[in-house]
Amino acid sequence: MTKLSVNINKIATLRNARGGNVPDVVKVALDCESFGADGITVHPRPDERHIRRSDVYDLRPLLRTEFNIEGYPAPEFIDLVLKVKPHQVTLVPDDPSQITSNSGWDTKANLEFLTEVLDQFNSAGIRTSVFVAADPEMVEYAAKAGADRVELYTEPYATNYPKNPEAAIAPFIEAAKTARKLGIGLNAGHDLSLVNLNYFYKNIPWVDEVSIGHALISDALYLGLERTIQEYKNCLRS
């Protein structure tokens, strides 16, 4: 079964716009779980523009599903993850000034750095995932560095899907096959939506987890959170 992890960054963006606690990030996370989410993803950025470090601590003891923390492994991030001990940490090569994640790791060039960082998380019993482009070589070097999983950066798939679905999915199938051959797990995320998710799933049904935030929270404005989560879950069935 492919798991749906709901990324709640955008709930925190809305909350932070007024400085109070509306909407309540923890309550929304718990409601997502009640509505069928298999996990919750957060991406605490250094400027705390959406998820704050305090949100990560607040969420940990209350979540009943899988908690996935994404981010660039700066010392403060490593410290936070080792203290909170989520089920999974996803390493993303983000510069603090980026609006959003826009590339995967060059796992070959960063092999030594990633190996050291992953070793700390692996030793703490936290499942590790490395954010990579749909490139078999990047998947291979993520496995060499000691990652339990890779997360394929799906923005190029989402952008190209409306023009030519077959061409858009082709490199993702190759990268996903490489992960399967190497015996590591497979996640995917970024710009997945109700438009493109089912086609992704049908072509790569062995994907372990998709993490989805921006489109899902936007759809919830029209459909409501419960129905939206159900519709995304329906996309993960053949």
Ligand X SMILES: CC(=O)[C@@H](O)[C@H](O)COP(=O)(O)O
| 229, burial (CB in 10 Å: exposed 0-12, middle 13-18, buried 19+) | buried
Give least dist CB 203 to ligand X, A.
Answer: 20
104 touches, from ligand LD2JLWAY, ligand X, none (C-beta below 5 to 8 Å by class): none
Of 141, 102, 146, the C-alpha closest to 127 is 146
Query: How many C-alpha atoms does 104 have within 13 Å on its Cβ side?
Result: 28
Cβ-Cβ contacts under 8 Å for 217 (sequence gap 6 or more): 8, 10, 11
Residue 92 in contact with ligand X, rule: CB under 6 A: yes
- Taking every pair of Cα atoms in the chain, the longest distance, rounded to a whole number of angstroms, is 48
Q: Sign of dihedral through CA atoms 102, 107, 110, 116?
A: positive
Active site residue 190: yes
| Residue 48 zone, left/alpha/beta (φ > 0; ψ -120 to 50; rest) | left
The residue at minimum Cβ distance from ligand LD2JLWAY is 189
Given the residues 66, 70, 151, 209, the one annotated as active site: 70
Work out which of 4, 32, 33, 43 binds ligand X, going by CB under 6 A: 43
Q: Which of residues 98-157 bind ligand LD2JLWAY (CB under 6 A)?
A: 151
Residue 7 in contact with ligand LD2JLWAY, rule: CB under 6 A: yes
Active site residue 70: yes
Residues that bind ligand X (CB under 6 A): 7, 9, 43, 45, 70, 92, 100-101, 131, 189-190, 213
Q: So which residues are the catalytic ones?
A: 43, 70, 190
Residues placed in the known binding site for 1-deoxy-D-xylulose 5-phosphate: 45, 50, 100
